[in-house]
């Protein structure tokens, strides 16, 4: 796969995909504000932020792909989300355009459609219904990806990442769980699948009660199923009046974490 740049390399998702990417790549450049240590000869570590296009361009120049996972990973005040998630994604996409990096994988989120009811099967073609300000920021990230694919010819994959956990632990995970194995599978496919112009794909395991229509656009078939873990509470959760976002979709969650006045 040549040279791959992984931003947000100290984060949860990056930790799950670091080793598989390292095995697949000729060179893996790990970027984070937090200090990291290279674990193999083909790894390089860059302690940096994504505060400007120029800073990003100096890191990604010559790469074959960028897997952009940096950003605020949950509900937060909108200014923080705009700076870290939206502007960060723009800096990566614009730097890729300027330096000729052909493919960018963007971390989107299942929370972009979290206000659809739990009984509804949703495809990436349906309108966003974000369950909070975090989901709103991911709508903007996907729109930027679409713009840079259509206007500038970048190959862009938006992964709507599910609930990445070692194992499912609650009723909502029966639909949203993403196993570490499947997380790595989706990211590797997003980097390597040929013929991509723009794709939005739910990255989630093959859960029996899944909320989302899975696509074969990336050529990856998920392997794991939350149903096999014996999680209780499904009957109470999977109802018409329960949003797919669960507790994330409540007004209290955004008021508390989004810095809104009560």
Three-state SS for the chain is CCEEEEECCCCHHHHHHHHHHHHHCCEEEEEECCCCCCCCCCEEEEECCCCCHHHHHHHHCCCCEEEECCCCCCCCCHHHHHHHHHHHHHHHHHHHHHHCCCEEEEEEEHHHHCCCECCCCECCCCCCCCCCHHHHHHHHHHHHHHHHHHHHCCEEEEEEECEECCCCCCCCHHHHEECHHHHHHHHHHHHHCCCCCEEEEEECCCCCCCCECCCCCCCCCCCCCHHHHCCCCHHHHCCCCCECCHHHHCHHHHHHHCCCCC
User: What pLDDT is attached to residue 1?
Assistant: 82
Instruction: Name residue 19's beta-bridge partners.
Output: none
Q: Please work out, in degrees rounded to the nearest 5, the angle formed at the alpha carbon of residue 165 by the alpha carbons of 244 and 142.
A: 55
The active-site residue out of 134, 148, 202, 220 is 134
CA 134 to chain CA centroid, Å, is: 12
- 3-257, what's its fold? Rossmann fold (3.40.50)
User: What pLDDT is attached to residue 164?
Assistant: 98
Could you give the maximum distance between any two Cα atoms of the chain, in Å? 52
User: What pLDDT is attached to residue 261?
Assistant: 82
Active site residue 134: yes
Q: Which among 71, 88, 48, 60 is positioned nearest to 3, based on CA atoms?
A: 60
For the chain, which residues score pLDDT lower than 50? Answer: none
User: What pLDDT is attached to residue 95?
Assistant: 98
């Amino acid at each position: 796969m040549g040279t791959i740049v992984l931003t947000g390399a100290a984060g949860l998702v990056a930790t799950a995909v670091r080793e598989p990417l390292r095995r697949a790549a000729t060179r893996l450049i790990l970027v984070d504000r937090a200090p990291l240590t290279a674990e193999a000869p083909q790894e390089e570590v860059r302690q940096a932020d994504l505060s400007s296009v120029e800073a990003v361009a100096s890191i990604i120049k010559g790469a074959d792909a960028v897997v952009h996972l940096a950003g605020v990973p949950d509900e937060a005040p909108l200014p923080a989300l705009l700076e870290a998630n939206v502007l960060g994604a723009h800096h990566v996409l614009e730097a890729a355009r300027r330096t000729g990096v052909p493919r960018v994988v963007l971390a989107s989120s299942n929370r972009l459609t979290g206000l659809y009811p739990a009984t509804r099967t949703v495809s990436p073609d349906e309108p966003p219904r974000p369950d909070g300000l975090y989901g709103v920021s991911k709508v903007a990230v996907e729109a930027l990806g679409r713009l840079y694919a259509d206007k500038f010819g970048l190959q862009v994959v938006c992964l709507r990442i599910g609930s990445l956990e070692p194992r499912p632990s609650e009723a909502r995970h029966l639909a949203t769980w993403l196993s570490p194995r499947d997380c790595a599978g989706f990211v590797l496919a997003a980097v390597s699948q040929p013929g991509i112009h723009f794709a939005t794909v739910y990255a989630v395991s093959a859960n029996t009660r899944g909320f989302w229509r899975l696509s074969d656009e990336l050529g990856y078939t998920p392997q794991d199923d939350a149903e096999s873990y014996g999680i209780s509470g499904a009957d109470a959760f999977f109802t018409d009046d329960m949003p797919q976002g669960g507790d994330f979709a409540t007004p209290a969650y955004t008021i508390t974490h989004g810095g809104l006045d009560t």
